[in-house]
Amino acid sequence: MKNDLLAGFQQRLAARKAVIGIIGLGYVGLPLVKAFCDGGLKAVGFDVDARKVRQLMAGRSYIRHIPAGVIADLVKRRAFTATTDPARMRGCDALIICVPTPLTANREPDMQFVAGTADEIAKFLRPGQLVVLESTTYPGTTREVVLPRLVRSGLKPGRDFLLAYSPEREDPGRKDFQTTDIPKVVGGLDEASGRAACDLYRIAIKTVVPVQNCEVAEASKILENCYRCINIAMINEMKMIFDRMGIDVWQVIAAAKTKPFGFHPFYPGPGLGGHCIPIDPFYLSWKARQYDTTARFIELAGELNVAMPYYVIGKVAEALNTKRLAIRGSRILVLGLAYKKDVDDLRESPSIILIEQLRNRGAVVDYNDPFIPATHRQRQHDLGMKSVPLTAANLRRYDLVLISTDHSVYDYPFIVRHARLIVDSRNAAAKVKTGRRKIFLA
């Protein structure tokens, strides 16, 4: 029976008759739609945000690195359609879940989106379907959160439907790797599910990496993100130690990375941002507590990274001090609102904390970001700001310019020429020669 289920799924894939449902059309879901359509399958995209669905169906894109023309073409040739109607899940052969996995206000996993989606799928689940969870989460989620909800449909895993986990490794803004080039780790609830999911992804992704089960796949993603989070915290700590010693951490890294083995460079910054690195490790530390163990490295890294914007503010105070100025009353321009360079995503961006904290201390703060013309309300922040143009006259108006995000389009010699004082948290202006001491590394 199990094999019939797998064989039926494989036949529809081989005949390119399978329709792929992608649930959650954000930074992860939308590139995946393109990858499957490029592989010759039809995709139906589901989102609860009717505005996004309307934009896509009108051939527009809200993600900078997915051009509108690509969406318009997919919609025109009927390879892709977007909808808010979950009943259309019934018509799909595979359903891939790409919904958010944030933290609650108490910094615990917020499973409402994954659980809600699984409940929705259960209403329309039919025999023969494969469900894959892609959202980043703690090991055990597919089996403990998704499976019990799907079972409420009355259908049985292995007999009626297949279930797997495959982590998303998308790195928005990256030019050297597309969705299709990044090897895809896949783990099934059972062997048939794993094989079905591997076959599905082979249509869209060049390299598929089967692993023992969904728990190994879930844990591998968390390991990758903990590795980054902990190493970034370590280099941020090094930065603060070396700064006290009068040593430039950037020069230290440049020297250390000449070692041809055993050293991978990580770079300091004003704090951690984005939807993944500041959040995902806490999914594991939360889960670890259920097993009477603690993820000490994660907790320590979190502590260090969360403190970084405050260190940068200390540097702002130090820089203003050289001009006999206080933060209170100073005009400060923050360059870059996005959480990293060349993207338009401001989720968890340290720039937001910097702006809020500088305002709390009485500064008059503006920002410039070529990719974020205005701020929108977020769950915990509402800056209500608009990007100011980066002109010579504007730069001169501020007591201090704080480089928070090192977008490649910024003309750093121009910024250095016209700014009165600069605090550079990214080493972006380092190569610009300036006679007077006006750049402070933070």
Ligand X SMILES: NC(=O)c1ccc[n+]([C@@H]2O[C@H](COP(=O)([O-])OP(=O)(O)OC[C@H]3O[C@@H](n4cnc5c(N)ncnc54)[C@H](O)[C@@H]3O)[C@@H](O)[C@H]2O)c1
Distances (CA, A) of 270 to 41, 232, 327: 42, 11, 18
Q: What are phi and psi of 137, to 5 degrees?
A: -160, 180
Please tell me whether residue 438 binds ligand X under the rule CB under 6 A.
Answer: no
What crossing angle do the helices spanning 214-244 and 249-256 adopt, rounded to 10°?
130
* Residue in 6, 23, 226, 355 binding ligand X, rule: CB under 6 A: 23
Q: Which residue is nearest to ligand X (CB)?
A: 26
> Considering CB under 6 A, how many residues would be counted as binding ligand X?
26
- Regarding 318 and contact with ligand X (CB under 6 A), the answer is no
Task: Name the minimum Å distance from CB 15 to ligand X.
Answer: 28
Place of tokens 């292995």: 158
98 binds ligand X (CB under 6 A): yes
Nearer to ligand X, 206 or 296 (CB): 206
User: Which of residues 180 and 394 has its CB atom nearest to ligand X in the complex?
Assistant: 180
Question: Which residue has 């050289």 as its token pair?
Answer: 322
Cβ closest to ligand X, residue 61 vs residue 394: 61
Alpha carbon distance 370, 398 (integer Å): 18
- Does residue 27 interact with ligand X by CB under 6 A? yes
Among 9, 20, 22, 29, which residue sits at the site for ligand X (rule: CB under 6 A)?
29
Distance CA 261, CA 11 (A): 46
- Does the annotation count 276 as an active-site position? yes
One of 37, 98, 226, 276 is an active-site residue; which one? 276
Q: What angle do CA 303, 320, 240 make, to 5 degrees?
A: 30
Q: Which residues face 46 on adjacent strands? A: 23, 83
Phi, psi of 104 (to 5 degrees): -75, 175
| Closest to ligand X by CB, 62 or 267 | 62
CB 124 within 8 A of CB 53: no
User: Within 13 Å and on the Cβ side, how many CA atoms surround 326?
Assistant: 5
- 22 binds ligand X per the rule CB under 6 A: no
Instruction: Quote the CA–CA distance of 53 and 47 in Å, as a whole number.
Output: 7
- Contact residue for ligand X among 34, 42, 52, 184 (CB under 6 A): 52
Count of positions (residues) in the chain: 442
Stretch that binds ligand X, among 70-78, 96-104, 244-252, 394-402 (CB under 6 A): 96-104
Cβ neighbour number for residue 241 with a 10 Å cutoff: 11
Q: Are 354 and 310 in contact (CB under 8 A)?
A: no
For ligand X, the binding residues in 388-427 under the rule CB under 6 A are none
227-286 positions binding ligand X, by CB under 6 A: 275-276
Q: Collapsing DSSP states into helix, strand and coil, what is residue 414? A: helix
Question: What binding mask, one character per residue, do residues 138-177 give for ligand X by CB under 6 A, x or -?
Answer: ------------------------------x-x-x-----
Residues 103-122 that bind ligand X (CB under 6 A): 113, 116-117
Residues taking part in catalysis = 276
Q: Which residue ranges make up the site for ligand X (CB under 6 A)?
A: 23-29, 46-49, 52, 98-101, 113, 116-117, 135-136, 168, 170, 172, 275-276
